[in-house]
Amino acid sequence: MVRVGIVGGSGYVGGELLRILLNHDQVEVSVVTSRKNKGDYVFRTHPNLRGLTNMKFSDVDVESLASKCDLVFTALPHGSSAKMVSRILERGLRVIDLSADFRLKDPRLYEIWYDWKHPCPELLQKAVYGLPELHRDEIKGAVLVANPGCMATSAILALAPLIKEDMIEPLRIIVDSKIGSSAGGASPTIFTHHAERYGVIRPYEAGHHRHIAEIEQELAEIGKREVNVAMTPHAVNTVRGILSTCHTFVKDKDITVMELWRVYRSLYRGCPFVRIVRDSQGLQRLPDPKFLIGSNYCDLGFDVDGHSRRIVVFSAIDNLIKGAAGQAVQNLNLMLGLDETKGLNVPPLHPI
Amino acid sequence: MVRVGIVGGSGYVGGELLRILLNHDQVEVSVVTSRKNKGDYVFRTHPNLRGLTNMKFSDVDVESLASKCDLVFTALPHGSSAKMVSRILERGLRVIDLSADFRLKDPRLYEIWYDWKHPCPELLQKAVYGLPELHRDEIKGAVLVANPGCMATSAILALAPLIKEDMIEPLRIIVDSKIGSSAGGASPTIFTHHAERYGVIRPYEAGHHRHIAEIEQELAEIGKREVNVAMTPHAVNTVRGILSTCHTFVKDKDITVMELWRVYRSLYRGCPFVRIVRDSQGLQRLPDPKFLIGSNYCDLGFDVDGHSRRIVVFSAIDNLIKGAAGQAVQNLNLMLGLDETKGLNVPPLHPI
Amino acid sequence: MVRVGIVGGSGYVGGELLRILLNHDQVEVSVVTSRKNKGDYVFRTHPNLRGLTNMKFSDVDVESLASKCDLVFTALPHGSSAKMVSRILERGLRVIDLSADFRLKDPRLYEIWYDWKHPCPELLQKAVYGLPELHRDEIKGAVLVANPGCMATSAILALAPLIKEDMIEPLRIIVDSKIGSSAGGASPTIFTHHAERYGVIRPYEAGHHRHIAEIEQELAEIGKREVNVAMTPHAVNTVRGILSTCHTFVKDKDITVMELWRVYRSLYRGCPFVRIVRDSQGLQRLPDPKFLIGSNYCDLGFDVDGHSRRIVVFSAIDNLIKGAAGQAVQNLNLMLGLDETKGLNVPPLHPI
Amino acid sequence: MVRVGIVGGSGYVGGELLRILLNHDQVEVSVVTSRKNKGDYVFRTHPNLRGLTNMKFSDVDVESLASKCDLVFTALPHGSSAKMVSRILERGLRVIDLSADFRLKDPRLYEIWYDWKHPCPELLQKAVYGLPELHRDEIKGAVLVANPGCMATSAILALAPLIKEDMIEPLRIIVDSKIGSSAGGASPTIFTHHAERYGVIRPYEAGHHRHIAEIEQELAEIGKREVNVAMTPHAVNTVRGILSTCHTFVKDKDITVMELWRVYRSLYRGCPFVRIVRDSQGLQRLPDPKFLIGSNYCDLGFDVDGHSRRIVVFSAIDNLIKGAAGQAVQNLNLMLGLDETKGLNVPPLHPI
């Protein structure tokens, strides 16, 4: 059994890591930390786990992590993670970091997008961007994996085939995302108060969302050209789920849906968590997070809009699973040489 | 008192017309028809009106309309409306038609977008597109007003100032709409079944939505140039409300938010139902239908995205009010020479 | 124009008072106070009122209230209200208090149910319990009206006819209430965080809800006998609305639905805001807050359960309107000698 | 591998059986039938299973079931199931029936509660009521298991300890249930249309719900005395989940919460799917289906109401799992001599 620690276990991502790892037969969670809740039972914060674990939160202590763990998940807020990760790595542990602190290769991008000077830029080149569909082999050997952002995951998986095949204008890419409330974390504010958050269709960070930086980085790498992405997220009335609608303009106006099937299938062949959803019959015709809640799937679908010379790509994930904890466990499996799907073979719930 | 009839009163738009006109002191609803429910009490179909009206639905009968009404609202499905409207007009009544059948000036567009040959194309030039913010004076003298589509209303009001001032690329306009379930009408299907419709973020008609035709028509007229609009709607988990997010690319990269304030204020000065929402403080920063449910407002907001040379415009309405019945009453007021806001001076509900 | 003040205007009840009074043609809101938000525009807290008022919150100041107002609504938390009300009354103003501080006649009940010693018990006899359906005439002459609690309003109106006619066992009354999130107020906590509050069916205060005291007081008065009420509220996934299900045991097992119609009609004849909803056809068969949101109605319905010798009564209200601000305006109208429905003649929205 | 068939696989319960059994390592689903959808891929009806199964629905054919299956789940509507079950049993297969057709021992009760004459009353004595917490040993040897109703499961588990210990008045039991939309099945009607069903707090079958018959049967058996249950269900705005609030009157007024802990623990010791939830700290204090969605748990909690001499018991389940398909698999495991939890060890999702 591999012993893992979870640093920052009281948030929603920490809770999901615990939930998933409880059913993972090669891994044992030996430590879960929370400054705020140290000494409390985990199930008081994550009531779904009542009866499933008697663990308590402990305070963060690198020595204790070093003695009790082989690998550590860090689920701390952006900016708090970098130094902690650096100290854990020094003890020889492997780390999967769920913050944004190691996702970007170029330290200057942190100054531009995060208004933050990276405290350990030398680690950025060591870190592997933890999107298995694009970086599977690098992840296997990584000591530090930077788990992608939830919106970034949905957007990159949607756009990578089109960029790789040079099918769209790379400087006119629009990602219009719709997202559930769990993506905002577990801290209540007036904006997340049920009476205020229920029923909303609420845009935010209209012109400058931080996930753009990692999306452009990854797409530029796969496309070997400059890419410009405009992203606007919208809070909608559900708890889990992201749908990213990617509006792109085709280079060749004669593109067909058949060709799109080919490029998507080609890039994601052998990827157990990517499903292509484009159907003319049945209850579901295009991706919708409703049909994958509780699973690690990313559902991708597309349409060609001849009127406006667009390709529209839809990408749906459960933001806490493929967008965070599930993808982290997928990375863990790869790092440990296990089957990529271990602990993640859970069919989605329907209806939900 | 002006006597009005409502043809097609059992749908949600018919119900809203009834609700609004109950509180309109210059108008009396003398007939409300429904083939399906003729003879039934209106409140059995619209239970909110229990205790407020004892009207019953009658069958559709043009002679009866002619004798009992001065003006008729037709709220029939697209395709069923044209002939009925033609017959009512022949009796000398004025008509506000809430279907799509008279919105387009060019009869060939019905063949392209609706796959339908218009049965009375000669009426199309007579009809006035009933968006008071753009056609106030024409509406006053109209005998036939074509009430705009709900998504079209939100998109046209959002984009008109930018097109008028020639600020954006007219052939690269993306409208990403999010919409509540009431926009789909009152007929149940498996797609609208609560267990299937709750919590969705579901795209549909990804590449070819019919409202595009009227949006392009109106924007081309105001801009005096060709306009191409790409629109993709998404069903989200609420009953009322549309948010249309309009992603546009600027012509002049030095555009400022200040200039946007100027052009929006300038076009909508004197428009009682347009509010500009762009705030750096308080509970609401940008348009969100949640804050206008129950009212005839269209809230418009915008942001400049320097990274991608975009202007993003957000447009929120209550799809059944400013998107349908409320706008129809606004048109009625104009046609009758009344204050535009009569019967519509209802503050939105919050929280809801 | 009567000049009214609203003390405690930043909560949801304060917002509703403002919204309703904006459309009241005999009343002008001259002051609205908020300690927390003094100096801020009202529409920053109540964004639905954007464009409808340019008022700002002021600090609470009794002298200022005395000079600017003829009547004051106090919408402060329980315990903070009593002294403020006392000081306002001393200046000769009339007061409608929306807290619990003047609802109970017997000061000892505050010690039992609220664990609080009333600071001005002499005022309790002066205060009139502001349920117009039971105390219309007293309210007309009152200087201090204690506006009922939202769950109390729904329960008392449901049970009064049965108690008055001595039809049920008075010591075995169960009120099982379901309630939307707006009833919990505008302050965010982890329990009201959207991700935690969405989709709940969450019981709370299972055995000891404070509204029981006023329900028992009012029912005992109308029945002239001791009454014992057990009440258990449940948070459900909506913002507005209460449904109270009252399970009662009949004294005479041969009671019929017809007799129930008679006793309900008899007590509520002439009450403009009580509707009896019991239908065998149409979309709505029994009360459901969904069909009265936005209005001041209380919908009552009932069924006889022969198997268990029960009468079940269902009572639905909009908790912020008939359960708070709307009822307060109804009381205001009575106090001013106006038509009871002034400013409240707004049909509910459907669908919502 | 045990080969099982699912008759009636296109409903929500059939879909859940498929989902759960996909992850059950001792069982293989060899047939899934649907009259309506025969020949169609299962994932077109249950889109969550896309990529997980390539099965198609077949028509119902008893010979085919007999040759391909060792055990059959029947998930047909009440009234359609009895004859089908009888024919399957004749082929020597074991059956778990998810309809109501074999739950009642006394055939006359079907005439009273279901207005239906049972076609094979001789089978009623053979059938075992499939609530493992009360009938574990009988289930192990059964050839026909009648899987309990969802509301019945929640109510019986809540009340059994109190009835067994003779702590409450057996003729004054009130069960007030709140329930999600999936319990109404997959067929759309105007009452389940999203615009009509969203946000409701809608009572139905106020005085005569059919599940009462099985609740009384089971409680009378465990209590060895007559029991009368009054039940009123309410539709609320969620898809999955039931909360049954059981209002009971104590016999001995000095009952304490401590004693309740004892009797609940005592009856449910060794029951892996019953959790007792009564906490004074943390996010969850009492049962709420939100915290067990996706799992086979039944969460039970209670409170003593000294004011009204009540015990209130709260019982939460996922209606499609512990209320239907999960419990059926629990019964399957027992019938096959497997660990009761096989295939059901899935932690609930939170937040959801």
pLDDT tens-digit series, residues A122-166: 999 999 999 999 999 999 999 999 999 999 999 999 999 999 999
Are B287 and B160 contained in the same domain?
yes
Q: With beta carbons under 8 A apart, name residues in chain A contacting C237.
A: 198
Instruction: Please indicate, yes or no, if residue B351 is contained in any of the structural domains.
Output: no
CA distance D237 to C237: 6
Are C169 and C298 contained in the same domain?
yes
Could you give the angle at the alpha carbon of B27 between the alpha carbons of B25 and B33, nearest 5°? 135
Is the predicted pLDDT of residue D339 greater than 90, yes or no?
yes
Provide the pairing of β-strand C274-276 with C298-305: parallel
CA distance D148 to D140: 16
Are D166 and D242 contained in the same domain?
yes
Q: Is D248 helix (H, G, I), strand (E, B) or coil?
A: strand
Structure tokens belonging to residue C34: 């908020």
Into how many domains does chain C fold? 2
Are B119 and B178 contained in the same domain?
no
Q: With an 8 Å Cβ cutoff, is A46 touching chain D?
A: yes
Instruction: Please indicate, yes or no, if residue A86 is contained in any of the structural domains.
Output: yes
Q: DSSP secondary structure string, B294-342?
A: TS--EEEEEEEETTTTEEEEEEEE-TTIIIIIHHHHHHHHHHTT--TTT
Are B197 and B290 contained in the same domain?
yes
CA-wise closest residue to A11 among A44, A45, A43: A45
Could you give the angle at the alpha carbon of C261 between the alpha carbons of C256 and C263, nearest 5°? 95
pLDDT band (50, 70, 90) for residue A252: confident
Q: Is the peptide bond before A161 cis (omega within 30 degrees of 0)?
A: no
Give strand ranges (E) for chain B. 2-7, 27-33, 71-74, 94-97, 128-129, 144-146, 173-179, 201-203, 229-236, 242-249, 274-276, 298-305, 310-317
**Looking at this protein, which amino acid is placed at residue D6?**
I
Are A169 and A210 contained in the same domain?
yes
CA distance C303 to C256: 9
Is the predicted pLDDT of residue B77 greater than 80, yes or no?
yes
Structure tokens belonging to residue A133: 């569909």
pLDDT score for B66: 97
CA distance A228 to A246: 13
Is the predicted pLDDT of residue A99 greater than 90, yes or no?
yes
CATH of residue C173: 3.30.360.10
Instruction: Give the catalytic positions of C in this structure.
Output: 150
Q: How far is C318 from chain D, CA to nearest CA, in Å?
A: 12
Are B102 and B23 contained in the same domain?
yes
CA distance D80 to A224: 62
Q: With an 8 Å Cβ cutoff, is B198 touching chain D?
A: yes
Rg (CA), chain A: 20
pLDDT band (50, 70, 90) for residue B242: very high
Only one residue has tokens 């509220």, namely: C233
Is the predicted pLDDT of residue D336 greater than 80, yes or no?
yes
pLDDT score for B333: 98
Q: Which residues are CB-neighbours of B212 under 8 A, at least 6 positions away?
A: A307, B113, B229, B230, B231
pLDDT score for D160: 98
Q: With beta carbons under 8 A apart, name residues in chain D contacting A351.
A: 12, 181-182, 239-240
Residue C27 host element (H or E): strand C27-33
* Torsion over CA: A213, A215, A221, A227 (sign): negative
Is the predicted pLDDT of residue B207 greater than 80, yes or no?
no
Q: With beta carbons under 8 A apart, name residues in chain A contacting D275.
A: 50-51
Is the predicted pLDDT of residue B323 greater than 80, yes or no?
yes
Q: With an 8 Å Cβ cutoff, is C348 touching chain D?
A: no
- Phi and psi dihedrals of B304, rounded to 5? -105, 130
Largest pairwise CA distance in chain B: 63
Q: With an 8 Å Cβ cutoff, is A84 touching chain B?
A: no
pLDDT score for D208: 81
Is the predicted pLDDT of residue B339 greater than 80, yes or no?
yes
Give the residue-averaged pLDDT of A287-295. 98
Q: How many helices (H) and strands (E) does chain B have?
A: 11, 13
Is the predicted pLDDT of residue D244 greater than 90, yes or no?
yes
Structure tokens belonging to residue D59: 């028509």
Q: With an 8 Å Cβ cutoff, is D201 touching chain B?
A: no
pLDDT score for A291: 98
Give the residue-averaged pLDDT of A17-41. 97
CA distance A157 to A210: 17
pLDDT score for B222: 98
Indicate the DSSP class of residue C321.
I
Q: How far is C195 from chain D, CA to nearest CA, in Å?
A: 6
CA distance B333 to B139: 10
Indicate the DSSP class of residue A23.
T
pLDDT score for C334: 98
pLDDT score for D253: 80
- How crowded is residue A237: how many other Cβ atoms within 10 Å of its Cβ? 27
Per-residue model confidence as pLDDT tens digits over C188-234 = 999 999 999 999 999 998 878 899 999 999 999 999 999 999 999 99
Q: Which of C12, C52, C182 sits opposite B347 (nearest CB)?
A: C52
Are C210 and C313 contained in the same domain?
yes
pLDDT score for B253: 80
Instruction: Please indicate, yes or no, if residue C346 is contained in any of the structural domains.
Output: no
Structure tokens belonging to residue B152: 């079209």
Which chain A residue shows the shortest CA-CA distance from D290? A48
Instruction: Please indicate, yes or no, if residue B264 is contained in any of the structural domains.
Output: yes
Give the residue-averaged pLDDT of C17-36. 97
Q: With beta carbons under 8 A apart, name residues in chain C contacting A48.
A: none
Are D169 and D71 contained in the same domain?
no
The answer to whether the CB atoms of A350 and D19 lie below 8 A apart is: yes
Q: Which residues are CB-neighbours of D292 under 8 A, at least 6 positions away?
A: A48, D275, D298, D299, D316, D317, D318, D348
Structure tokens belonging to residue D114: 């279901």
pLDDT score for D256: 96
Is the predicted pLDDT of residue A117 greater than 90, yes or no?
yes
What mean pLDDT is reported for chain C? 97
Per-residue model confidence as pLDDT tens digits over C141-182 = 999 999 999 999 999 999 999 999 999 999 999 999 999 999
Domain that holds residue C26: 2-126
Q: Is the peptide bond before A289 cis (omega within 30 degrees of 0)?
A: no
CA-wise closest residue to D236 among D322, D176, D277, D313: D176
Q: Please say whether the beta carbons of A332 and A27 come within 8 A.
A: yes
**Looking at this protein, which amino acid is placed at residue C116?**
W
pLDDT score for B208: 82
Give the residue-averaged pLDDT of B306-313. 96
Is the predicted pLDDT of residue A313 greater than 80, yes or no?
yes
Are D199 and D297 contained in the same domain?
yes
CATH of residue C64: 3.40.50.720
CA distance A264 to A167: 12
What mean pLDDT is reported for chain B? 97
- Residue at a domain's end among B126, B143, B176: B126
Per-residue model confidence as pLDDT tens digits over A158-202 = 999 999 999 999 999 999 999 999 999 999 999 999 999 999 999
Per-residue model confidence as pLDDT tens digits over C43-99 = 999 999 999 999 999 999 999 999 999 999 999 999 999 999 999 999 999 999 999
Instruction: Please indicate, yes or no, if residue C164 is contained in any of the structural domains.
Output: yes
Instruction: Please indicate, yes or no, if residue A304 is contained in any of the structural domains.
Output: yes
Per-residue model confidence as pLDDT tens digits over C248-283 = 999 988 899 999 999 999 999 999 999 999 999 999
Q: Which of D201, D203, D310 sits opposite C236 (nearest CB)?
A: D201
Which chain D residue shows the shortest CA-CA distance from B352? D199
pLDDT score for A207: 77
pLDDT band (50, 70, 90) for residue B59: very high
Q: How far is D222 from chain A, CA to nearest CA, in Å?
A: 27
138-157 in A: which are within 8 Å (CB) of C? Answer: none
pLDDT score for A327: 98
Is the predicted pLDDT of residue D49 greater than 90, yes or no?
yes
Instruction: Please indicate, yes or no, if residue C299 is contained in any of the structural domains.
Output: yes
Q: Please say whether the beta carbons of A60 and A69 come within 8 A.
A: no
Q: With beta carbons under 8 A apart, name residues in chain C contacting B44.
A: 279, 281-283
Instruction: Please indicate, yes or no, if residue B96 is contained in any of the structural domains.
Output: yes
Are C178 and C71 contained in the same domain?
no
Are B13 and B119 contained in the same domain?
yes
Structure tokens belonging to residue D54: 């390539």
What mean pLDDT is reported for chain D? 97
Per-residue model confidence as pLDDT tens digits over C308-319 = 999 999 999 999
Only one residue has tokens 């593109």, namely: A255
Is the predicted pLDDT of residue B42 greater than 80, yes or no?
yes
Burial of D66 (C-beta count, 10 Å sphere; 0-12/13-18/19+): middle
Catalytic residue among B69, B120, B150, B246: B150
Per-residue model confidence as pLDDT tens digits over B132-162 = 999 999 999 999 999 999 999 999 999 999 9
Per-residue model confidence as pLDDT tens digits over A39-57 = 999 999 999 999 999 999 9
